[in-house]
Structure 1
């Protein structure tokens, strides 16, 4: 096996059978897809990519599975977890983000704007866009590698169903819980990694304690009672990272600016069509190299942080709901100014009641029923208004709406 030195997990071991997949062009492309869009314009250290995150999820998926097997043997039959399965779940973790487009989730916002505001014909599936494209990428670029990966499993179907959360077998259901759940390898890696590169402590939690605190019962990942504090820590870490880093108003502003710029590039056919056939060309570098074609205002904003301003009032509570009711009017202003006036909203649900359970005095209970901290977590909803300095007159249409909601 090969060993990679990682700042989050220490040494990450790469099995020989996985190394050829990492070495493919389509996976190496993830070195040029930023993990957190333009967050580095606010947190300069956040220049890390989907490449190292994917390696981290691969590592953590395997680690969590090993410990769940050890912890669960007195509670349920986990005999299906053997070395072959560990390799398979590692592979699913490795490929869970293979479908991401340039600047990651920012490009999903691009497709939303292109379809809903500018009326372009593009493929857009909400937050699942990168997952659906990922399955197409696996078919087009990786199926030959995956067909040879395991003699016991249909690897292509296994990985595709796991990363798209559409499992059909017991093994796939377990893997889906490990890869994509309220407490999973994906969140476990990106909270620690993004916190580290942002230079903040908000995303830290006790990953070693978490590994040793999960059991598998009745097709559910269950938290042991003694580990309730570390799960609370995990969920609070996630909330703090969203409120402080991912949903930072200036981070959101620049990701929105970039989104409108990329829509302009799509309209002008300045970048290749968004399809699996063109994925090897679709990287952050391509977008940055074409940015001048979107207009001087957008180029200088993204490259030099010049030109755009933000109305320094976050739109929350009743005001957020009011602005949502006026979205058609807001969208018209953005469309007419071609992105020189921007309204950008943030929305996140911290967890779902039916996702996290605790093994509490020989009973399985929802975590929220035994944790006042968890039951107090609320959804985050926020909007911001930004504008280019040459569009000060046009932004008044949105600031007027903002004034109206102050009743």
Structure 2
């Protein structure tokens, strides 16, 4: 076992089996992938990486299981000690497929496909998950099979959990611990991102929350006495999206970075890696080392925050729906401007309940869905924002969209 000092969780204990994963070059690569892309352009402290986040998710997933086991009547055939470490390995590898600058690269793939017509692999926010499962199968299978030889097929276990296609109760529990409305992944990034941004929005009582989790009848459930913490968690997530992740200037620079990456893909300077060997060096620095190969307006914006302006009109939901109807025109203007006019969409649902998807609360009346017991959570709604920006060299397009947004806000778009 190794102790790692962490600013969020204190000491993180890494079991010997998982140390071999931590030491692998493919996992060490995550030290060079920023967790929140260009958020540091607004919040200078946000230079943390997927490496420490992945360790944090590993730690919390094992903590969650420890308390779930104590609070529940689990009847799994797998040895408990082995199973908890397999959950830790799964959590540790959940972001292994991220490309440079994390989700911004996924957005760049969308821009490359939709705006510039490139034939690139793009599955929205699932891109890194699909690439990650392939990477696990090709780059970690022998190590995982050696470490967890008594647990059947650990590679298939991890792949099914990360792809959210569990085939049994053990996989379903692991999936719910790592990827759910209240999970180890979101718990770590809210606390970690809030800390490095220097804001209080993402804080909640993780120590109390994890102690009141249980798993019954295939449902991850929170005891009623922890309901205020569940509400605090979901509100923290909403505030972080509204104020940090969806900050207009953060969105502007991530949109510019998406254009730069799309240009590098278009012009053949980079391509999405296909083998573990190609992944090893495909990190943030590969983008910055190629910035001089894109037009200088994009380079100067990303290096020195020069040249681009944001249209300072935050459209209403009604206007955003109107903009949806002219999306093809927006994309065409982006293409014609060759990256000097940018458009970026933000979208998140803090909490929803569909079919079997819900946070379950163990109340005096039995197991109930969260919205049944929390008027506060019933009031949460979808967050949608858009950002328009333009370089001084595309001022004509900038004025066009300033007029469109002004007319929309004043109700003239129907005229």
Where on the TM-score scale, by shorter chain, does this alignment land: which range? over 0.9
| 2:117 aligned residue (99, 116, 119) | 119
Q: Call closer, same or farther: CA 1:346–1:338 in 2, change over 3 Å.
A: same
Residues 235-278 of structure 1: per-residue CA shift (max 9 Å, x gap): 00000000000000000000000000010011111124442352
CA distance in structure 1 between the partners assigned to 2:291 and 2:141 by the alignment: 34
Contact 1:69 1:78 in 2 (8 A): no
Whether 1:20 and 2:13 are equivalent positions in the alignment is: no
Other structure's SS at 2:3 match: strand
Kept in 2: contact 1:350–1:378 (CA 8 A): yes
CA distance in 2 between counterparts of 1:222 and 1:247 reads 30
Instruction: Tell me the distance in 2 between the aligned counterparts of 1:98 and 1:36.
Output: 15
Q: What is the correspondence of 1:26-105 to structure 2 with a 5 Å cutoff?
A: 26-73=26-73, 77=75, 80=78, 82-105=80-103
* Cα deviations by residue, 1:45-78 (Å, 9 ceiling, x for unpaired): 00000000000000000000000111113xx546
The question of 1:366 aligning with 2:364 is answered: no
TM-score scaled to structure 2, two decimals? 0.95
Secondary structure of the 1:405 match is helix
Question: TM-score, normalised on structure 1?
Answer: 0.97
Stretch of structure 1 that moved more, 344-353 or 103-112 = 344-353
* 2:395 maps to which of 382, 392, 395: 392
Distance 2:197 2:152 in 1: 39
1:180-191 pair list within 5 angstroms: 180-191=179-190
Match of 2:152 in 1: 153
Match of 1:383 among 362, 386, 391: 386
Shift of 1:281: 2.0
Superposition misfits of 4+ residues, deviation over 3 angstroms: 76-81
Structure 1: segments with no counterpart, 5+ residues: none
Contact 1:173 1:219 in 2 (8 A): yes
Native 8 Å contact 1:316 1:381 kept in 2? no
Please name the residue that 2:142 is paired with.
144
Structure-2 residue corresponding to 1:128: 126
Measure, in 2, the Cα distance between the counterparts of 1:168 and 1:273: 30
Alignment match, 2:281: 281
- What's the secondary structure of 2:236's corresponding residue? helix
1:400 is displaced (CA, Å) by 3.0
- The separation in 1 between residues aligned to 2:50 and 2:151, in whole angstroms, is 29
Structure-2 separation of matches of 1:93 and 1:86: 11
User: Which residue matches 1:258?
Assistant: 257
Distance in 2 of aligned mates of 1:327 and 1:152? 49
| CA-CA distance at 1:338 after TM superposition | 1.0
CA distance in 1, matches of 2:147, 2:141: 10
Conserved? CA contact 2:371–2:378, under 8 Å: yes
CA distance in 2, matches of 1:83, 1:119: 50
2:295 is aligned to: 295
Question: Cα offset for 1:403?
Answer: 2.9
TM-aligned CA deviation for residue 169 of structure 1: 1.4
Q: Which 5+ residue runs of structure 2 have no aligned equivalent? A: none
Q: Which moved more, 1:238-247 or 1:76-85?
A: 76-85
**Cα deviation, residue 172, structure 1:** 0.4
- Is the contact between residue 78 and residue 151 of structure 2 (CA under 8 Å) also seen in structure 1? no
Alignment deviations for residues 286-307 of structure 1 (CA, whole Å, 9 cap, x no partner): 1011111111111111111111
Question: How far has the Cα of 1:356 moved from its partner?
Answer: 0.6
Q: Partners of 2:79 and 2:8 in 1: how far apart?
A: 26
TM superposition shift of 1:81: 6.6
The 8 Å contact of residues 67 and 214 in structure 1, kept in 2 or not, is answered as yes
Contact 2:313 2:405 survives alignment (8 Å): no
